[in-house]
A and B are shown apart, each in its own frame.
Chain A
Amino acid sequence: MNVSVRRVVSAFAFLLIASLAPPDLLAQSCGVERWSVKTGTDADVGKVNLSSSTSNTIVTMRGWPAPNPIPANNRVSPYETTVWVLNATLVEYKLESDSDYHLVLSDASGNTLIAEIPLPACVGSSSPFLSKITSARNTFNSRYTPTGSFQTANIPVQITGVGMFDFLHGQTGVAPNGIEIHPVLSIVFNPTTSPDFSLSVSPSALTIASGSNGSATVSTTVSGGFNSAVALSVSGLPAGASGTFSPTSIAAPGSGSSTLNISTGTAAAGTYNLTITGTGGGKTHTAPLTLTIGSGGGGGSQILANPGFESGNTSWTASSGVINTSSSEPAHGGSWKAWLDGYGTTHTDSILQQVAIFSSHTTATLTFWLHIDTAETTTTTQYDKLTVQVRNSSGTVLKTLATYSNLDHNTGYAQKTFDLSAYIGQTIQIYLVGTEDSQKQTSFVVDDFALNVQ
C-alpha cells in the first residue's frame, strides 16, 4: 500500500470509528489489547456460561497453562468461558489510564492475581456482561475512590468474574501465566463466612475392572476459621465392593487430602453413583463419584488415574504449566501430555501421582512413553536430567527406577517399562523430576502412563 492510500484509509477508518462508536465510549480512554474479550464483545462470548459459577483458588488459576498464541478475539476454554469465584484479600487497587479498576488479589501464601473492573462506558452495549460490570463498578465506588496511584486496601473480598489471559508486560500483581479475572462481575467486601469446609474428589469418575482396585483423591479446603477434623465415608458401593480411606479422616483444621481406595471385589459390572461424605465441626458436605466396574475377564487392570493426562491437570501433582496441550511438543496420544523443562534456563519441573497397590495383586508393571529433545550438542555430558522414582506416601525415595538426560534424546516417543511388584501392598508415589541447567533447553515429554496390576 502506498503512502497516499494509507493516509486516506487511516483517515477514513478513524472517522468511521468516530461516527459509529457510542459518544460516551469516545469520551473515555478504553483499552486496546483483547479488549473485546475483556469486556464481552468477542466472537466467543456466547460460550461463557453466565448461569453458573465455579469456586477456585488463586494458586490453581496461576497453574493453568498459558495459551500461545493468545487469541485476539476468541476465548480459551474453559478458563475464559467460565465464571469463577475467588475468595481472597484485596491488597491494593488503582484506576488505570484505560479506565479499568486494577485490583491486586492475594491468597494467604502471598500468591497474587489481577482482577479488573472496566468502566461501563468502555463496554459495548451488546456485551452480556454490561449490567453486572456496572453493578460491580458501583459496588466498588461505594467503598473506594480509585486514583492513578495504588492505594492499599487489605480487605477480604469475594470476587466473581470471567477468566482472561493477558499479555505479560510488567503489570503489578500479575500471575505468571497472565490469568486475570477480567471483567469482574461482582465483588463482595468482607464476605460473611461462617466456619465451613468444602469437599472435592478427583477424578470424579473411576473405571475399575471387576476384581481389581483403583483410587481417587478426596480433598478438603476450609474457610471462615474452620478448625475441626473431617471424617470421611463413602456410600453407594455395590455389594461385593469395598472402599477405604487413607487416612480415614482429615485432621484439624480440616484442610488436606485422603486417598479413597476402592476394591471392586465380586461386585457386578455396571456404573454406580457413589457419594463421598465429609463430616466435621457440625458441617456435612458431599461430593459425587461415578464408579464403573468393567467385566474384568480375569485379566489385569490399570490403576493410575488420568494416565494419559487427557483430563488435564487432575490426579497428578505437577509443576506449573507442565501438563498442557502445547502443539510445540505433541502428545503421544490424545492432546495432553506432561512436558518437563525446556526453558533453557536453570529450572526444575516434576510430576507425581500417589497410588495404592493392594496386596491382593501378584504383579505390578509401570509403563510410560518418553520423548526427549534438546539443544545440547555434547555427546558426553549429562547437563539436563529426568529422574524416575518410586517414593513412599511421605515422599521418601524407595528406588530410583531410571535417569535420562540430554544424551538420550530421540526423535519420537519410546516406551519405558519397570517392574513395581516389590511395592505390592504399599501406597507409593510415582515421581518424575526434570532438572535443567542454565543454558540450552532439554525437553522431557512423557505421556500415556499405565500401572498394570494382576
Chain B
Amino acid sequence: MSRAFILATLALTLTGGAASRAAEKPQASAPAVLEHAPRGTVVFDDDGGRAQIVPRRAVPSQEAKYHGGPVVSQPTVQAVFLGSGWRKQENRQKEAAVMSALRSQGGPAAKSLSPYGVKPWELSGQPLEDLTGDPLRGTSISDLEIQTRLDGLLGGADPLDANTVYVVFLAPGLGSTLGPRATEKDYLAYHNHVHAAAGVIHYAVVPYDGDPARWAAAARQSLRLTLINPEGNGWY
C-alpha cells in the first residue's frame, strides 16, 4: 500500500490531529476559509468574515473537499430556542416537532457523515431557551446579536465542550440578518462560530419557516454543514 493511500485514508478519520498541530504554529499563509465554495453558499458575516448558508435558491451540488481544518468529530447537538415568540403555547408544538426531526436524524441515521470523520450526533435532551424578547433593532436579529446572546447563555459556564454544536431556532415572527443578507431573500439557515471567553461556540441559526418540512430540512442541512465545516476550513 502506498504512503499516499495510507495518508489519504487517515485524513478522513484523524483530521483533528493534523489540524490542531498546525494550529499551534503561526501559519505561513492564511488558511483557506470557504474559498472556492459552491457559488451562492457563502456570504460575508457581520464582521467581515465568511459564513456558509443554506440558500433559498437551489445551487449546483459540488463534492466536498477537505481544507485542513477541524470537524466536530463526536457531536452533541444542543438546541436553543431564541425569541419571545416561543412563549406562545401554539408554538410549543412546533418546538417539539423540530426537536423530533433533529432527534430522528441523529444516531444511525447520521452515519453518512462518517466519511468526514464525524460520528452520529447525540441530541441533548433539554433545549436552552432565551425568551428575552425582540431584537435590538427592527424585527430581525443580527448574527452579532445572536453571538452576544449565546455568549450570555454560555459564557458563565465551564469551558465549552468543543464537540457541542448549538442549533439556534428563531421564534416565529423573528427575522434574521447575516451581514447584508436576510433570511427572507437569501437563506433558510446558516452556520458560523464565535470565540467567546469560555471557548469557541459553533452554531447554526435556523429562522422559523411556515413550511414544516422545509424548516426541518434546513435545520438538518445547516447542522450537517456545521459538523463537517465548523470553522470554514473543513469540508465544503
The answer for the CA separation of A9 and B195 in the assembled complex, in Å, is 21
Stretch of A67-75, A282-290, A362-370 on the interface side: A67-75
The smallest C-beta distance from A28 to any residue of chain B, in angstroms, reads: 8
In the assembled complex, A345 has its CB within 8 A of some CB on chain B: yes
Those of A333-347 within 8 Å (CB) of chain B: 339, 342-345, 347
**CB-defined contacts of B137 to chain A, threshold 8 Å:** 27, 29
How many residues does chain B have at the interface if contact means C-beta atoms less than 8 Å apart? 56
Q: Is A11 engaged at the interface, CB distance under 8 Å to the other chain? A: yes
A20 interface residue (CB < 8 Å to B): no
A32 to B180, CA, bound (A): 18
* Interface assignment of A26: CB less than 8 Å from any CB of chain B: yes
A155 located at the interface, meaning its Cβ lies under 8 Å from any Cβ of chain B in the complex = no
A246 CB within 8 Å of chain B? no
Quick check: is A201 within 8 A (CB to CB) of the other chain? no
Asked if B136 and A26 sit within 8 Å, CB to CB, the answer is: yes
Q: Give the one of B48, B131, B145 with max A CB within 10 A.
A: B48
Query: B180 and A148: CB pair below 8 A?
Result: yes
Q: Is the CB of A328 within 8 A of B24?
A: yes
Chain A residue, CB-CB nearest to B129: A7
* In contact, B153 and A6 (Cβ under 8 angstroms): yes
Contact across chains for A66 and B195 when beta carbons are under 8 A apart = no
Residues of chain B in range 200-219 having any CB-CB distance to chain A below 8 Å: none
Contacts of B3 in A (CB 8 A): 439
A229→B231 CA distance, assembly (Å): 50
Cβ–Cβ contact A320 & B144, under 8 A = no
B107 located at the interface, meaning its Cβ lies under 8 Å from any Cβ of chain A in the complex: no
A239 proximal to B (CB < 8 A): no
- Distance between Cα atoms of A347 and B21 in the complex (Å): 14
Is the CB of A272 closer than 8 A to any CB of chain B? no
User: Which of B21, B26, B144 has the most CB atoms of chain A within a 10 A radius of its CB?
Assistant: B26
For window 99-156 of B, CB contacts with A under 8 Å fall at: 126-132, 136-137, 142-145, 147-149, 151-153, 156
B56 at interface by CB-CB < 8 Å:
no
CB distance from A118 to the nearest CB of B (A): 11
- Cα distance, A7 to B7, chains bound together (Å): 47
User: Quick one: which of A2, A97, A441 contacts B18, CB cutoff 8 A?
Assistant: A441
Secondary structure of the A contact surface, majority rule: loop
A169 x B28 contact (CB < 8 A): no
Which residues of chain B are near A440, meaning CB under 8 Å?
Answer: 7, 18
Q: Report which residue of B30, B33, B197 has the largest number of chain A beta carbons within 10 angstroms of its beta carbon.
A: B30
A11 with B130: CB separation less than 8 A: yes
**CB-based contact B21/A441 at 8 Å:** yes
Stretch at the interface among A173-181, A218-226, A261-269: A173-181
Nearest to A381 among chain B residues (CB) is B3
**Is residue A107 within 8 Å, beta carbon to beta carbon, of the partner chain?**
no
Residues of A within 8 A of B157 (CB): 1
Judge whether A100 and B47 touch: CB under 8 Å.
yes
Known A3-B126, A11-B130, A29-B137: A343·B25 in contact at CB below 8 Å: yes
CB <8 Å contact, A3 and B49:
no
Known: A7-B130, A97-B179, A320-B26. A72 touches B195 (CB 8 A): yes
Q: Is B75 an interface residue (CB 8 A)?
A: no
